[in-house]
Amino acid sequence: MKKHGMLNSHISKVLSDLGHTDIIVIADAGLPVPDGVPKIDLALKLGTPGFREVVDLVAEDMVIEKVILAQEIKDENAEALQFITDKFGTGTVNASISHEQFKALTRHAKAVIRTGEATPYANCILQAGVNFG
């Protein structure tokens, strides 16, 4: 058994396999998962686990160079936007694409991690960076 870090074996495997610019998605309970994209379903009930908790844990084990959000988060879920901005900084966060464009980008994800989050637009695309140079 691992002593530290991500204990979920599916998430740990995905994170270990990421290369520079690969993307994963952390999704609320309602975001559709495109055919062919692996879904790691963590949802136990509405609200559990929450978006913040999963983002925090994934960010502990992943080098993240960019975070992409749907622009609708600005009006519909200011709290989630503030959390992401505080966590990653304004230079890393892009919230300028539509929710439809966001969903289209998820087709390129290595995995979608589904949370139990039940607030609107609590979804993010995390783009992998590198931990050198």
User: What residues act catalytically?
Assistant: 20
Determine whether the annotation assigns residue 123 to a binding site: yes
Determine whether the annotation assigns residue 28 to a binding site: yes
> CA 41, CA 103: separation in Å to the nearest integer?
17
Determine whether the annotation assigns residue 121 to a binding site: yes
Determine whether the annotation assigns residue 128 to a binding site: no
117 neighbors 30 (Cβ within 8 angstroms): no
Which of these, 77, 84, 91, lies nearest to 52 by C-alpha position? Answer: 84
Alpha carbon distance, N-terminus to C-terminus of the chain: 32
Residue labelled with tokens 């992409």: 68
Q: Which residues are annotated as a binding site for substrate?
A: 28, 99, 121-123
Q: Which residues are annotated as a binding site?
A: 28, 99, 121-123
